[in-house]
C-alpha cells in the first residue's frame, strides 16, 4: 500500500469529516477543522495514497454560443486534477511545551493495516520538531487495544477522567509520554519505526 503522511490542508476537510463521522458517530457533528487549521496551537496530519487518483471531468463549453469572450475563456480542455484518497487523520494541540493528542482516526475499511500506528509515530516526530516536552492523550477505558499500542510507545497511565466521554459517560484513561527528546524514548521510537517498516512497508513518518 502506497501510504504517506503530510500536514492536513483545507481541501482535505470533506474527507476528514467523513472519517470523523464514521469513527466517532456518537460525537457528531465533528470539530470545525477549518477553524482548527487556522489555530496556531493546533496541528493536524493526514495519511493518504497518491496512487489513488480520480481525474475530475473536463470543463468544455460548446463552440457556438452568444458570448464570444466566454467561449474564448472556457472553450478548452482543462487539465484533469487529482484528489488524494485519505485513509485517516490525527491531530494535537501544543501549549507551553505540552502536546495533547485530540484524535487519531482511520477509515473502517483501512484499519488493522498499520495506519493508526503510522500516524502516532508521525505525531511524536512532529511534537519532537516543535520542541515539546511531553505528550498526553485520553483513551476509552474499554479500548484496551489502543492502550496497548500507546504503552508500546512508552505512554504510561497517569490518571482517569471519570465519565469523560459524553456519548456513554465512559471513563477516559489519561496517558502520558514524558521526556520525548530523551535518548531512551528516541531509541525506542527508532526501534519501533524499523519494526513498523518491516511489517507494513511504510516509512514516511515526518509530516511537514
Residues marked as catalytic = 138, 150
The residues facing 90 across adjacent strands are 45, 104
Q: Cβ of 200: how many Cβ atoms within 10 Å?
A: 15
Distance, CA of 208 to CA of 129 (rounded, Å) = 10
Q: What is the 3-state secondary structure (H, E, C) of 6-20?
A: EECCHHHHHHHHHHH
Phi/psi for 151 (5° steps) reads -65, -35
Distance, CA of 44 to CA of 35 (rounded, Å) = 12
Distance, CA of 42 to CA of 102 (rounded, Å) = 9
Amino acid at each position: 500500500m502506497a501510504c504517506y503522511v503530510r500536514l492536513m490542508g483545507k481541501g482535505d476537510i470533506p474527507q476528514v469529516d467523513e472519517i470523523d463521522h464514521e469513527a466517532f458517530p456518537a460525537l457528531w457533528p465533528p470539530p470545525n477543522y477549518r477553524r482548527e487549521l487556522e489555530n496556531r496551537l493546533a496541528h493536524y496530519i493526514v495519511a493518504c495514497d497518491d496512487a489513488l487518483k480520480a481525474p475530475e471531468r473536463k470543463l468544455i463549453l460548446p463552440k457556438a454560443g452568444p458570448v464570444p469572450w466566454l467561449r474564448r475563456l472556457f472553450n478548452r480542455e482543462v487539465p484533469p486534477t487529482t484528489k488524494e484518497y485519505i485513509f485517516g487523520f490525527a491531530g494535537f494541540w501544543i501549549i507551553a511545551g505540552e502536546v495533547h493528542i485530540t484524535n487519531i482516526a482511520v477509515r473502517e475499511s483501512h484499519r488493522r493495516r498499520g495506519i493508526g500506528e503510522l500516524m502516532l509515530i508521525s505525531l511524536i516526530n512532529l511534537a519532537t520538531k516543535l520542541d515539546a516536552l511531553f505528550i498526553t492523550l485520553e483513551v476509552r477505558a474499554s479500548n484496551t487495544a489502543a492502550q496497548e499500542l500507546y504503552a508500546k510507545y512508552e505512554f504510561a497511565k497517569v490518571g482517569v477522567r471519570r465519565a469523560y466521554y459524553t456519548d456513554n459517560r465512559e471513563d477516559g484513561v489519561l496517558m502520558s509520554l514524558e521526556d520525548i527528546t530523551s535518548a531512551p524514548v528516541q531509541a525506542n521510537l527508532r526501534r519501533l519505526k524499523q519494526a513498523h517498516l518491516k511489517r507494513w512497508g511504510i516509512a514516511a513518518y515526518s509530516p511537514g
